[in-house]
Amino acid sequence: MLKPQVNHHTQSTKTLFPLEKPFLFGNGGQSFLLQVQSRPSSSNKAPKVRVGFSSNIKAISIPFTGRNNTFTKVKAVVTVKRTIGSLISDLTLTPGDIKELLGRSLQLELISAELDPKTGLEKATVKDFADRGLFPNDGFDITYRAEFKVPLDFGEVGAIYVKNDHDFEFFLKDVVLEGFPNGPIKITCDSWIQPKFVEEKRVFFTYKSFLPSKTPNGLERLRGEELIKLRGNGQGLRQASDRIYDYDVYNDLGSPDSKQDLARPVLGGKQHPYPRRCRTGRDPYPKSETRVRDNLTFYVPRDESFSGIKTATFGAKALYTLLHSLIPTLTSVIIDRDRGFPYFTEIDKLFNEGVNLPKKDKKSLINAIPRLVKGVKDTAENILKFETPDAMDRDKFFWFRDEEFARQTLAGLNPYTLRLVTEWPLKSTLDPKIYGPPESEITKEIIEHEIRGFMTLDEALEQKKLFMLDYHDLLLPYVEKVRQLEDTSFYASRTLFFLNPDGTLRPIAIELTRPPMDGKPQWKRVYTPSWHSTECWLWKIAKAHVLAHDSGYHQLVSHWLRTHCCTEPYIIATNRQLSAMHPIYRLLNPHFRYTMEINALARLALINADGVIESTFSPGKESIELSSFAYDKQWRFDNEALPKDLISRQEFSDPIQKGLAVEDPSAPHGLKLTIEDNPFATDGLVLWDIIKQWVTDYVNHYYPDPSLVESDKELQAWWFEIRNVGHADKKDEPWWPVLKTSEDLIEIITTIVWVTSGHHAAVNFGQYTYGGYFPNRPTITRTHMPDEDPTEETWKFFMEKPEAVLLEALPSQIQATKVMAVLDTLSTHSPEEEYLGDIVEPSWKQDPVINAAFERFNGKLKEFEGIVDGRNANTNLKNRNGAGMMPYELLKPFSKPGVTGKGVPYSISI
Q: Which residues are catalytic?
A: 559, 564, 760, 764, 910
Rounded distance between C-alpha atoms, residue 234 and residue 245, angstroms: 9
Which is nearest to 567 in space by CA: 720, 755, 299? 755
Rounded distance between C-alpha atoms, residue 110 and residue 107, angstroms: 10
Angle separating helix axes 713-721 and 566-577, nearest 10 degrees: 150
Contact between 275 and 566 under an 8 Å Cβ cutoff? The reply is yes
Q: What is the C-alpha R_g of the chain? A: 30
Q: Tell me whether strands 141-151 and 71-81 are parallel, antiparallel or unpaired.
A: antiparallel
Q: What's the sign of the alpha-carbon dihedral 304, 305, 307, 312?
A: positive
H/E element, 597: helix 595-605
User: Helices (H) and strands (E) in the chain — how many of each?
Assistant: 31, 25
Which is nearest to 829 in space by CA: 778, 880, 760, 753? 760
Rounded distance between C-alpha atoms, residue 747 and residue 735, angstroms: 14
Q: Within 10 A of 101 (CB to CB), how many other CB atoms are there?
A: 19
**845: buried, middle or exposed (CB in 10 Å: 19+, 13-18, 0-12)?**
middle
The string of DSSP letters for 190-202 reads EEEE--TTT-S-E
Residues 6 or more apart whose CB falls under 8 angstroms from that of 687 comprise: 754, 758, 864, 891, 893, 904
What separation in angstroms does the CA of 442 have from each of 32, 270, 406, 493, 649? 65, 35, 18, 11, 20
H/E element, 89: none
Residues 6 or more apart whose CB falls under 8 angstroms from that of 131 comprise: 58, 59, 60, 61, 144, 145, 146
Rounded distance between C-alpha atoms, residue 349 and residue 334, angstroms: 14
Angle separating helix axes 472-483 and 623-634, nearest 10 degrees: 160
- The two most distant CA atoms of the chain are separated, in Å, by 103
Phi, psi for residue 554 in degrees, rounded to 5: -55, -50
Q: Within 10 A of 220 (CB to CB), how many other CB atoms are there?
A: 14
Q: Within 10 A of 117 (CB to CB), how many other CB atoms are there?
A: 9
Distance of alpha carbon 553 from the chain centroid? 16
User: Is it true that the peptide bond before 679 is cis, omega within 30 degrees of 0?
Assistant: no
Rounded distance between C-alpha atoms, residue 670 and residue 659, angstroms: 15
**Half-sphere exposure (CA, 13 Å, Cβ side) for 9?**
17
Q: Tell me whether strands 466-471 and 492-499 are parallel, antiparallel or unpaired.
A: antiparallel
Residues 6 or more apart whose CB falls under 8 angstroms from that of 141 comprise: 79, 80, 81, 82, 173
Give me the residues paired with residue 493 across strands: 471, 512
Rounded distance between C-alpha atoms, residue 815 and residue 823, angstroms: 12
Rounded distance between C-alpha atoms, residue 54 and residue 906, angstroms: 35
- Buried/exposed code over 436-449 (b: 16+ C-beta within 10 A; e: otherwise): bebebbbbeebbbe
SS3 282: coil
